A and B are shown apart, each in its own frame.
Chain A
Amino acid sequence: MVKLIRSNLHKDRAVMIVFMLIIMIASMLMHTSLLINTYDEVYDSKAEKQDIPDAIEQVRTDDDISGIINGCDKISQYSVTDMILPAETVFTVNDSAKEITNDTALFYEYGTQGIAGEHSFVERDESVSGRKLYMNLGLARSNGINIGDRIHLKMDHYNGLEFTVAGIYEDLFNGVGMSYNSVMLDTQGFEQMKACAQKAADAGNTPQTQKLIYMRFVDGAAHKDGLKQLREAISAKGYYNYGYTMELARKAYVGIITLLVPFLSTFAVLMILICIIMIIFAISNNISRDIRNIGALRAVGHTAGQVRTSLTLEYLLIGAISTAAGTALSYVFFPMLEKAFLRGLTGIVCKTGFRPAATFGVIACILLAIVLTAFIASARIKKLHPATALRFGLQTNSFKRDHFPLADTKGGLNFLLAAKSAVQSIGQSISVFVVIVTVSFLTFFSLMLYYNTKIDSYKFQRLLQGDTADAYIEITGDEARRQEILKELRTYDGVSEAYSLCFQTATINGEDVDTYVSAEPQSIYCGVYEGKMCMQANETVIGGELAKRLGVGIGDEIKISNVGRQERYLITGFQQAVYGLGERVYLTDEGARRIGLEPSYSIIRVRMHEPSDEKVDKLLEKAKAYLGSECVSTDNYYRYQRSEENLPVFASGMINVVFILLSLVIVFLIIRLLLKTVFIKREKEFGIKKAMGFTSRQLRLQLSLSLLLPAISAALLGSVGGYFLVNPLFNAVFSSYGIKNSDLTVKPMMIAITALSVLALVFVLSFIMSRKMKKVAAYKLISE
C-alpha cells in the first residue's frame, strides 16, 4: 500500500505540488480569518485586564459637574479629567513637509486618567528629550508615528507646540479611527495648550476645553441605562455632551476588522472547492492512466477498497502536510499583518498565541472534505472488474464523435483544433470552467469594490453611514443666519444641495435610539431602501432592524419620546446603514421639536454636482472667505471618503489586494497544472504535429485557445454572476449590520472588463507558460 502511494505521488508530482500550494493558501486564509475573528475576545480580555471603566462621557463645559454626577444613583465610581478637543489638529512629524490633519484628536494631561488608570503602553521611552507626548496606538500606527519622533502641533489660534513621542499606548475608548483619538501631554505642554484654548474661547470661538468623565456603574445596572441617566442629567443643565459605553466602543474597535472575516473565509472556501474539483479530475485521470495497474492489483487479490484507500491516503497525506503548513504559516503571517495593518485599523495589539480549536478545526474540516471527495471520486474502481481493466488498459482514447470536422467547419485551423481539444478533454475543460467562474466572480467583486470606493463612492458611503456629503462646514450663529448661509451656498458653482443634519437621542419603548433630525429632509439621502423619506412633522423613517425588532411596518405608527414627552409618528420608510446597525430614527425638524428635542445645526453639509478634490477645496475656500469668523472649521469629506484614512476604504483596498493577488496565484497554479498534464498526455501528438509542419507558436496558440474556449463561458458566467450576486452577497454579509437592500453600483461594462481581463490573463499566462514547446525538436517528441 505504502509503495503504491509513493508511486502515485511520484507520478503525480506536478499535480500534487499545485494541490499542496492551493490547500496551503486556503488553510492559511481560513485560519487567519479565524484569528481575526478573535478580536472581540481580545478586546474583552484587554478590557478586563486593564480594568477599563463601563462608559465615558465628554461634556462641553468648564464648570464643576461633580454635583450632577453625584446625583446619578446608577454611577458607583467616576473620575473627571480636563481635556481639549480642537476642531482640527495638524500634526507635522520630524519637520516633514507632509501635514497630518485630524479632527478626532483629544488632548489631556498624562497621569489624570483617574479610574481609567494607566493605559497599557506598547512602547515607551521616558528618556526622550523635550516635552513629552504619548499617543494612542491607532493614531500612531495609521500615521506612521514612532517613539522618539518630534511632533509639531498646529491648531486654530495656536502658534504651534513641539513635543517628542515618549510613549505609544492602547486606549480602549478613545483610540481608533471611528471614535476620538486620545493624546496625552506632559503637564507643562497641556497647561500651555489649555491657555491657548482659553484665549481662543475668549475671542468668541467655540470652547475647546471639555470634561472627560470615566465612570463605573452599580452592580446590575445596564451600562446604557447608567449612561443615559447621566446624559439626561447633563442635558438638563444645557451642556453639550457625548458619550458611549464600553460595548459600543468595542463595536467601533473590532467592527471593521471583523468584516474581513466573511470575505477571507469565502475566498478560502472557494479555493477548497477548486481543490475538490482538482481531486476529482486528478483521480479520474489516474484511474484512466493506471487502469492496467489497477487491474493487475485487483487480479493479485487487492480489494477495490484497498486500491481506493491508497488513492485517498495519497490525498490525505498531501492534505495533512498542506493544512499543517498553511495553519503554521498563518501563525507567521498573522503577526505580520497585525503589525503592518491591523494595529492601525483597530488601535489594539493582538497577540493570539496558539489557538488549538481554530488550528485543529481548520485542519479537520479541510481533511474531511479531501477524504470524502477522494473516496467518492474513486468509486469507479469499485465497479471495475480486473479482467476489464487489464483488457482495456491500453485503450486510453474513446473518441466516438468527430467534433468540428476540419474540412466541413468554418474557422481557422488553430481555432478548430483548439475547439476539438476543448471538447475532447472534457475533464480539463470542466476544471478550467470552475476555476475561471470563481476567479471571474472575485475579479468582478474587486472591480465593483474599487469602483464604489474610489470612483463613485456615494452609494458605498451611504451604505456605511447613511447620509453623506462632499463638504462639511461648521458655523456659528442662529437659525436665521444658517438659512442665509444655506441660501448663499446654494448659489455657488457646482453646489447641488446645502443642508444640515443633527444628531440627537430619543427613546422608543424605553430604549435610546440615535435620532437624526433635519430641517431640509428633502436633501437627505439616508439609505431609505423601502418607502420614502419623512417630510411632515408626524412622519418618521426608521432603521430596518429596529422595525423588525419592534414588529412594525410602513404605514404603522410608533411612539417616540424624549424626557417625558411622547408623540406618535407615521412610518414612511425603512432605512439602512452599517454604522447605525439598522437602528436609527429620522425626523423632520418640526417632528423633533414635537417631543422637545432641540436640534442645533452647527454643521452645514454641501453636496456638489460632479465633485472633485479641487472643486470641493475651491468651494470651501470661497465659503471661508464669505463666512469669515463665523466659520469654525471645514472638511473636504469628498477627499476623506476616498482616502486610506477612511477605514472601510482601507479595508476594501486590502480585500482587493488579497483577492487580486490570490486570483493571480490560482490562475497561475491551475494553468501550470493543466499544462503539465497536457504535456504528459499529448506529448506524442505535439511531436507528430511538429513533424507535419506545425510551428511551436501554432501549437502554443492551440493550447492557449483550448483553455480559452471553456474560459470564455466561465468568465462570462462568473462576471454576470458577480453583476447579479454582489449586492445580495453584501446583504448577506452585512445583514447583522442592518443592511437589507445593498444598492452598490454595478455596471454592464464591469462584466466586459472583468471577462476580458480574466481571459487575457488566461491566454497570456498559458501562452507564456507553454514555451516549453519551443525547446523540443519534433523528432525528440515523437521518440520520447
Chain B
Amino acid sequence: MEKQNKKKVLIKTEKLSKSFSVAGKQQHIIKNLDLEIYEGDFTVIMGPSGAGKSTLLYALSGMDKPSLGSINYCGQEITAMNDDALAVFRRSHCGFVFQQIYLVDSMSIMDNAVSTGMLTGQKKKALKQKALTLFERVGISSELAGKFPAQVSGGEAQRAAMVRALINDPEVVFADEPTGALNSAGVKAVLDVLTDINRGGQSIVMVTHDIKSARRADRIIYIQDGGIMGECILGRYQSGDKKRHEKIRAFLEDMGW
C-alpha cells in the first residue's frame, strides 16, 4: 500500500454513490465508495455479477453521472461538468473498449477510428496515417480497415475498437469486459494490445470476470455490494509468472469469489 501511495493519483473518488430506480424502488449500486486510480497502472476491477463494476467504470469515465460524491480527474471535478463538457472530457482524456464492441455499424472501421480522432481537431492526413499505424499494431490490415463492422470477425472488430480507443492518445483506457465475447486467440490479442499500451505509459482500467485477463493487472480491486471489499497488488506483468496466477486465485478466494 505504501508503495502505491507514491504513485501519482489519476482519478480519485470520494463517497461515490450511484442509485437506480427500478420499478419505483431505489437500488443502491455503489455506496460511499472511496477509490484512487494511479497514473500508468493497469487496474482491474473484479467482483460478482451485479456488484456495480460496470457502473463504477462508467462513472469514473464520465459516461454516467453519480448520484452522490465526487470524482476528481487530475484535479478536475468531473461530477460538476455538464453533458457537453463531459463529452469533451471523454474525447480528450479517455478511450473506451466494450464487451459488445460498439462500433458504429454504418461507418467503416477506418471511419470509426478517424471520426473519434477528428473530434480533437487532428489533421485528416496525419490521422489516417496514425490510424493505419495503430491498425497495423493491433494486426488489422489496411484493406480490412475499409470494411464495415458487420463484415469482419468479432476479434477483428474488437481490435478495431481498440484503435478507436487509442486514436486520441488517451491518458486512460476504460475497458468493460473487452474479452467477454472473444475466442481464446482473440482474448490474447486484445490483452497483448492493452498490456502493450500500458507499457507505453497509458493507464488502463478494466472490468473483467476472467482470471486470465486479470493476470495482466498491476492491481486488482474487488467490489461487492457497491463497496470495495479488498485489493491485490501484483506489480508488473511478466509472461510465464505462475506465482502471479496463484496469488490472484488466493485473493479471489479470500474475497469469496
Contacts and interface: CB of A to CB of B under 8 A. Distances in A.
A, B bound? yes
Interface of A: 395, 397, 399, 402, 405-408, 413, 417, 420-421, 424, 684-685, 687-698, 774, 777-780, 782
A691 B58 CA distance: 10
B88 A695 contact: yes
Contact of B83 (A408, A424, A684, A696): A696
Contact of B96 (A395, A405, A421, A692): A692
Query: 5 closest A-B pairs (Cβ-Cβ)?
Result: A693-B91, A407-B128, A779-B64, A695-B84, A695-B87
Contacts of A778: 63-64, 87, 90
B106 A694 contact: no
B111 interface: yes
A405 B108 contact: yes
6 contacts: A397-B150, A402-B148, A407-B114, A684-B102, A693-B90, A782-B102
Interface string B212-255: 00000000000000000000000000000000000000000000
A138 to B, nearest CB: 60
Contacts of B14: none
B53 interface: no
Contact of B124 (A407, A690, A779): A407
B106 to A, nearest CB: 5
B49 interface: no
B164 A421 contact: no
Contacts of B64: 777-780
A689 B87 CA distance: 9
B78 interface: no
Given A402-B110, A698-B87, A782-B100, 13 more contacts: A399-B105, A405-B146, A407-B111, A408-B124, A689-B104, A691-B90, A692-B90, A692-B91, A692-B119, A693-B116, A694-B119, A695-B87, A696-B84
A779 B58 CA distance: 7
Nearest to A686: B104
Nearest to B100: A782
Contacts of B131: 407
A774 B82 CA distance: 10
B110 A405 contact: yes
B42 interface: no
Contacts of A780: 64
A407 B110 contact: yes
B115 interface: yes
A507 B33 CA distance: 104
B92 interface: yes
A780 B54 CA distance: 12
B107 interface: yes
Contacts of B108: 402, 405
Interface of B: 58, 63-65, 83-84, 87-88, 90-92, 94, 96, 98, 100, 102-108, 110-111, 114-116, 118-120, 124-125, 127-128, 131, 146, 148, 150, 164, 168
Most chain A CB within 10 A, of B63, B88, B102, B107, is at: B107
A399 B106 contact: yes
Contacts of B105: 397, 399, 685
A395 B84 CA distance: 33
A421 B106 contact: yes
Given A413-B118, A413-B119, A692-B91, A774 B83 contact: yes
Contacts of B104: 685, 688-689
Contacts of A405: 108, 110-111, 146
Contacts of B164: 692
Given A399-B148, A688-B102, A688-B104, A697 B84 contact: yes
A425 to B, nearest CB: 9
Given A405-B108, A420-B106, A695-B84, A779 B115 contact: no
A696 B100 CA distance: 23
Contacts of A777: 63-65, 83
Contact of B88 (A406, A685, A693): A693
Given A407-B110, A407-B128, A691 B83 contact: no
B146 A402 contact: yes
A503 to B, nearest CB: 71
Given A406-B118, A779-B64, A691 B102 contact: yes
Contacts of A695: 83-84, 87-88
A698 B148 CA distance: 23
Contacts of B98: 782
A685 B106 contact: yes
B235 to A, nearest CB: 31
A408 to B, nearest CB: 8
A407 B83 contact: no
A397 B88 CA distance: 30
A42 B72 CA distance: 79
Contacts of A407: 110-111, 114, 124-125, 127-128, 131
Nearest to B119: A693
A691 B87 CA distance: 7
Nearest to B96: A691
Contacts of B84: 695-697
A774 B103 CA distance: 21
Given A407-B114, A692-B90, A693-B92, A420 B107 contact: yes
Nearest to A409: B124
A685 B150 CA distance: 14
B140 to A, nearest CB: 15
B115 A417 contact: yes
Contacts of B115: 406, 413, 417, 689, 692
A691 B63 contact: yes
Nearest to B95: A692
Contacts of A693: 87-88, 90-92, 94, 116, 119-120, 168
A779 B63 contact: yes
Contacts of B124: 406-408
A22 B103 CA distance: 38
A697 B63 CA distance: 16
Contacts of B94: 693
B87 A696 contact: yes
Contacts of B63: 691, 777-779
A690 B87 contact: yes
Contact of B111 (A395, A397, A402, A684): A402
B110 to A, nearest CB: 7
Contacts of A696: 83-84, 87
Contacts of A420: 106-107, 111
A405 B64 CA distance: 31
Contacts of B106: 397, 399, 420-421, 424, 685
Contacts of A779: 58, 63-64
A407 B91 CA distance: 18
A399 B116 CA distance: 20
A413 B115 CA distance: 7
Contacts of A684: 102
A422 to B, nearest CB: 12
Contacts of A690: 87
Contacts of A424: 106
B230 to A, nearest CB: 26
Contacts of B100: 782
Nearest to B87: A695
Nearest to A773: B83
Contacts of A774: 83
B87 A694 contact: yes
A570 to B, nearest CB: 72
A768 to B, nearest CB: 17
B116 A692 contact: yes
Contacts of B118: 406, 413
Contacts of B103: 688
Nearest to A411: B124
A395 B111 CA distance: 21
A685 B107 CA distance: 10
B131 to A, nearest CB: 7
Nearest to B106: A424
Nearest to B127: A407
Nearest to A781: B63
A423 to B, nearest CB: 10
